[in-house]
Structure 1
Amino acid sequence: MAKEIERKFLVKDDSWRQLAKGSLYRQGYISSQGATVRIRIVGNQGYLTIKGMTINYSRSEFEYPIPLADAQEMLDTLCVRPLIEKTRYKINLGSLVWEVDDFAGANQGLILAEVELTDEAQQIELPDWIGEEVSGDPKYYNSYLVKHPFCEWE
């Protein structure tokens, strides 16, 4: 079984921006009850991803490439609105890859950093631009942001 072990943080300043170039992501959710079913386009490639429930920092994850035209049609016809639009920056620091998501559209203004780990107990050194950890807060899940966009938060 594929497993994702991930920690998520708010980003407190823009000093990370000079460390990487970003890629545009568009994604939507067909289902977010129990297991999450996501459609994503990155560049010219579509992906279908199924994720299980999060327990601590871990969850099962299965991701498969799909034809771009199929992904586009699913985003247009099957996915809940609004779609998630973001630019993702991948930053290599030591043995880790930090992914910083700068959201656009209905979630503009939200910037999150994630790091995937090999073990839940793995110790990590936080870069200076990392703020509060929000790993356990479901309101920062992309599937939550579809139903409760950042622009509606108080």
Structure 2
Amino acid sequence: MSDSGSGDFEFERKFFVHELPAVATSDPSPVLIVQAYLFASDGYAVRVRLQGPATGESDTAPHALVASLGDEAIGTMTAKGPAAGGTRYEAERSLDPLVAGQIVARAEHVVAKIRHSVWLGEDGWIIDRFLARNEPLVLAEVERGSPVIDLVIPEFCATEVSEDDRFRNEYLAHQPFGAWADAYRSEFELLGPTFVDTLGRNHFEGTTPPLPG
């Protein structure tokens, strides 16, 4: 849900969410995404993605998810650079879905998620519910065609993780959230929520940032 008017650069902010918010169910067409990371080092990554309509997947093994996408799947290959100040180089190109599916099904480092897209105020948000070894992770992202400044942050955003590399998909492909979820929740309860304060003024739904839940 981004405006790609700045070529191969994306501008986004990302937030940790305790559980899938009710607003996500307003999306009539959630998308299943299965993506493999062929390379990831020092913020650089190469990703192959297959995506299509989500249909209530029960088997979350990569090969089963790939098979469930069927003829409506879309394949892409993306090269990414390190993120800085909410900006990241990301060059995406189309890939034959049959080829993309075969690569993803055979890859070692895979991330699978259900993506919900919603409009909140003037911004389009995506809310990702991760599957398999990354359960029960839920992340929310907002993207724009220019730096995401003066953002209205929904109440369901518990804390910002835009600058926390642990929540990048390439990290999650190698170190699934399920293995460190309890440790992160303890860390969050100790430190509380934080939000990037260098991108204009943050506006929170309600009167205060959300507290640990």
- The answer to whether the superposition gives a TM-score over 0.5 is yes
Larger strand percent: 1
1:2 partnered with 2:11? no
CA offset at residue 93 of structure 1?
Answer: 1.8
Q: Supply the distance in 2 between the matched residues of 1:133 and 1:84 (Cα, whole angstroms).
A: 21
Long gaps (5+) in structure 1 = none
Calculate percent identity across the aligned residue pairs: 30
1:39 partnered with 2:48? yes
Partner in structure 1 of residue 108 of structure 2: 80
Q: Supply the distance in 1 between the matched residues of 2:154 and 2:99 (Cα, whole angstroms).
A: 38
Partner in structure 2 of residue 29 of structure 1: 37
User: Residue 38 of structure 2 aligns to which amino acid in structure 1?
Assistant: I
1:125 partnered with 2:152? yes
Q: Supply the distance in 1 between the matched residues of 2:104 and 2:141 (Cα, whole angstroms).
A: 24
CA offset at residue 104 of structure 1?
Answer: 0.5
* 4+ long deviations beyond 3 Å: none
Partner in structure 2 of residue 146 of structure 1: 173
Which among 97, 109, 118 is matched to residue 68 of structure 1?
A: 97
Q: Supply the distance in 1 between the matched residues of 2:176 and 2:100 (Cα, whole angstroms).
A: 22
Partner in structure 2 of residue 48 of structure 1: 77
CA offset at residue 11 of structure 1?
Answer: 1.5
1:97 partnered with 2:124? yes
User: Residue 39 of structure 1 aligns to which amino acid in structure 2?
Assistant: V
CA RMSD of aligned residues (A): 1.5
Q: Supply the distance in 1 between the matched residues of 2:78 and 2:121 (Cα, whole angstroms).
A: 28
User: Residue 9 of structure 1 aligns to which amino acid in structure 2?
Assistant: F
Deviating more after overlay: 121-130 vs 101-110: 121-130
Structure 1 residues 121 and 24: CA distance shift in structure 2, 3 A: closer
Q: Supply the distance in 2 between the matched residues of 1:129 and 1:55 (Cα, whole angstroms).
A: 25
Which among 16, 22, 28 is matched to residue 23 of structure 2?
A: 16
| Number of residue pairs matched by the alignment | 152
Query: Does the 8 Å CA contact 2:24/2:117 hold for their aligned counterparts?
Result: no
Q: What is the TM-score of this pair, normalised by structure 2?
A: 0.67
Write the deviation string for residues 37-78 of structure 1: whole angstroms up to 9, x where unpaired.
00001111111011111112111111111111110121133x
Larger helix percent: 2
Q: Supply the distance in 2 between the matched residues of 1:31 and 1:38 (Cα, whole angstroms).
A: 7
Q: Supply the distance in 1 between the matched residues of 2:148 and 2:104 (Cα, whole angstroms).
A: 36
Q: What is the TM-score of this pair, normalised by structure 1?
A: 0.91
